[in-house]
Structure 1
Amino acid sequence: MKKSRVALAVSLGLALTTVGVAVTMPERVLEAEFARQRWLAGASQHTLVAAGHRWNYLEAGQGPLIVLVHGFTGSKENWLPVMRELAKTHRVIAPDLPGWGESERQADADYGPGAQADRLAEFLATFHEQPALLVGHSMGGQIVGLLAARHPTQVGRIVLMSSAGVKFEENQFGREVLAGRNPFEVTTRAELRRYLGIVFTDPPFVPWPATEALVRRRRADVAFEQGILDRIGRGPEAFSLEAELPKIQAPVLLLWCRDDRVIDVSAAEIFHRGLARSQTVLLAGCGHMPMMAQPGNVAEALLGFANAAP
């Protein structure tokens, strides 16, 4: 009886400690989940300095190089579900772009798509190996496209996934952006649920206290996000990639979800018409985050394109 009481007391103590950590340090819970996903993907964290910034990135696997570039409000962790598949046959790298996530942000620096494309070119040069595949999602797609147009010798094949950079059919997201609002803004848990409802057709369940940690991160970035959206959503660089599509000679895979409520699927046809060499894969039953919603299908499409005959 005495031993059972001691065991119960220890269990209650551990439980209360866990709850205490969750309440006072929800970031620890979120970091633990990212650590679990890194372990599943066989990924490790690294840093390097390029283009005058410290970059934080994930790396997994061995073989031909695949580089994955996140989008607006995104991070390297968005790629962990698909990295788990790609790393079985490839070396996979996913950075936080400068200004985002755990990479360095400098006051008054230009984090528009053109400047980021030049920085990404310098980041890639540090690996002394041309990527077999360079993948950009949303804002990251615009950055990858500009890099392919302006630094053609640094890319082989590229993938534009739900990519920004061209004028697509008007939708609610676009109307809000043009009106000066940030539909992705998150300062409360209610706004986090709204955000997830925009980017996913079937929003994932995010338990407390991870929700609190995500809200705190996004709340701290409200002004930064607004400034970037002014550049990529309604400023002079909003559709800068469209004008440079004829310069892209690399083979391009256009990968979209049919139900994307952020970058309407009509953008894929605009890209196709402007590119010298492209093919399109459309996925059903997902929204703006195919690499998280359907990692298996995305990995299959990426590997099929990477391994296709010239």
Structure 2
Amino acid sequence: MALVGKRVLKVAGLIVTAIVALAAAGAGGWAWYTTTYHSRLVRSLEKAGYQEHRVSVDHVKLNVGVSEPRDGSPIVLIHGQASGWRQYGYALRDLSKDRQVYAIDVPGHGKSDRLESYRAVEVADVLSRYIETIGQPVVLSGHSSGGQLAALIAARHPELVSFLVLEDPPLFATELPEARNTWNYQDLAVSAHEFLSSGETDWQAYQWRSQKMWQYFGDSAQGFIGDGLAYHCRHPGAPIALWTMPPEMNEAQVYIMDYDPAFGDAFFTGLWNEGFDQEATLAAIQAPVTYIHCQARYDGEVLQAAASDEDAARAMDSLPAGAVKVEADSGHNFHVEKRKEFVGILLAGVG
């Protein structure tokens, strides 16, 4: 689950970032930096040996970024909601130096197929059948909602997973009615649900103008919204990319383009949680586990993070004895903000 992705960017932070960048490099340099971030990442990963593979798993086509073969346990990465396999950024490049990496576009994202419905247990079953084809136990890491999927895979198929990393998953925070006081629900889930009910067909434009983050932009919000919609009109079929926005926001629009809003609607309706007993799932995990809990932030009563401190404590109580907890001094995207630490945690578990 992205806290874009679900990322919460306050206007003050945007202004400070822009001012610093403009002062250091000038408007032209900042514009190049922020609008070309994703294309430069793509080229870097290609140079590192990544190729996209389209594979069929029980009639579901999955898109997977695969690095060059290496000795030792392979690493499988499952991204969060409204994201894609490349969102792991330069951690992908770092990991591929030591191990073969399989980074999967979750169904409903990127170039993977869309499903008729999005129950976590069903999505996890599709992913587990792909992991079976790798032919040996893997180091499995899931970010955000991908962490929930990774937990399900490890619990239901212990033979597939030698080491598990749960990177800031929204454990228990997706369960209704409590989920209604989370940023993800009020932002992406509500937008996805209302879009599907609206009769509109342009998800990218709808999501851009309906993002909850605009509440922090004050009187300037309409200007940013208008600029983004104007860009969208000039560049149909391309992600919205504004030079006034930081690269994280522009990159998020790359993934929004190919995101199935029905995935978000599953969090609105509670469909995602059907058949998913989160406590029992955590208790059934047999592989060694590292659980990364990032900072819990609030806007009033609204949780702006994946999991509260209380949810994190409950997760640790549910996990088998010996599970390791990492309290991260970072936002939701630990793998970006604390890239070296993230890479170190995964490589420590490869055996």
TM-score by length of 1: 0.72
Name the amino acid aligned to 2:292. L
Which ranges in structure 1 are unaligned for 5 or more consecutive residues? 1-27, 198-205
Whole-angstrom distance in 2 between the partners of 1:300 and 1:213: 25
Give the 3 Å change call, closer, same or farther, for CA 302–189 of structure 1 in structure 2: farther
Q: 1:77 aligns with which of 67, 86, 98?
A: 86
Larger mean CA deviation between 275-284 and 182-191 belongs to 182-191
Unaligned runs of 5+ in 2: 1-34, 192-205, 218-240, 298-303
The change in CA–CA distance for 1:182 and 1:191 in structure 2 (over 3 A counts) is closer
User: In the alignment, what sits opposite 2:327?
Assistant: 282
Instruction: Sort the Cα spacing of 1:82 and 1:217 in 2 relative to 1 into closer, same or farther, 3 A.
Output: closer
* Corresponding residue to 2:261 among 223, 238, 242: 223
Q: Which amino acid aligns with 2:284?
A: K
Aligned residue among 153, 171, 174 for 1:165: 171
Per the alignment, residue 202 of structure 1 pairs with: none
Structure 1's 216 and 251: CA in aligned 2 closer, same or farther, altered over 3 A? closer
Q: 1:270 to 1:53 in 2, by over 3 A?
A: same
Q: 8 Å contact 1:141–1:162 — kept in the other structure?
A: yes
Q: Which residue does 1:8 correspond to in 2?
A: none
2:50 corresponds to which residue? 43
Task: Return the offset for 1:279.
Answer: 0.4
Q: Measure, in 1, the Cα distance between the counterparts of 2:336 and 2:306.
A: 16
Mapped contact 2:188–2:211 kept (Cα < 8 A)? no
Q: Considering only CA atoms, is the larger Rg found in Structure 1 or Structure 2?
A: 1
Deviation at 1:177, TM superposition (A): 6.2
Shift of 1:33: 3.6
SS in 2 for 1:306: coil
| Residues 84/195 of structure 1: CA separation in 2 closer, same or farther (3 Å cut) | farther
1:293 to 329, 337, 344: 337
Paired residues in the alignment total: 267
Describe the shift of the 1:217–1:151 C-alpha distance in structure 2 as closer, same or farther (beyond 3 A): closer
Identity of paired residues, percent? 24
Mapped to 1, the partners of 2:285 and 2:96 lie a distance apart of 27
2:60 alignment partner, one of 53, 65, 86: 53
RMSD: 3.7
- 1:171-186 matched pairs, under 5 angstroms: 175-176=181-182, 182=188, 185=191
**Corresponding position: 1:241 with 2:285:** no
Q: CA 1:221–1:235 in structure 2 vs 1: closer, same or farther (change >3 Å)? A: closer
The alignment partner of 1:143 has SS state of helix
**1:74-153, aligned counterparts within 5 Å?**
74-106=83-115, 109-131=116-138, 133-153=139-159
* TM-score in terms of structure 2 length: 0.64
CA deviations 1:144-189 (Å, max 9, x no partner) are 1111111222211111111123259x9x985056976536857227
| CA distance in structure 1 between the aligned counterparts of 2:215 and 2:124, rounded to whole angstroms | 26
Do 1:178 and 1:234's aligned partners in 2 also have CA atoms closer than 8 Å?
no
**2:299 aligned with 1:253:** no
Which stretch of the first structure deviates more once superposed, 31-40 or 151-160?
31-40
Between the two structures, name the one with larger relative contact order (CA 8 Å, sep ≥ 6).
2
Deviation, 1:80, is 2.9
Report 1:203-214 matches (<5 A): 207-208=242-243
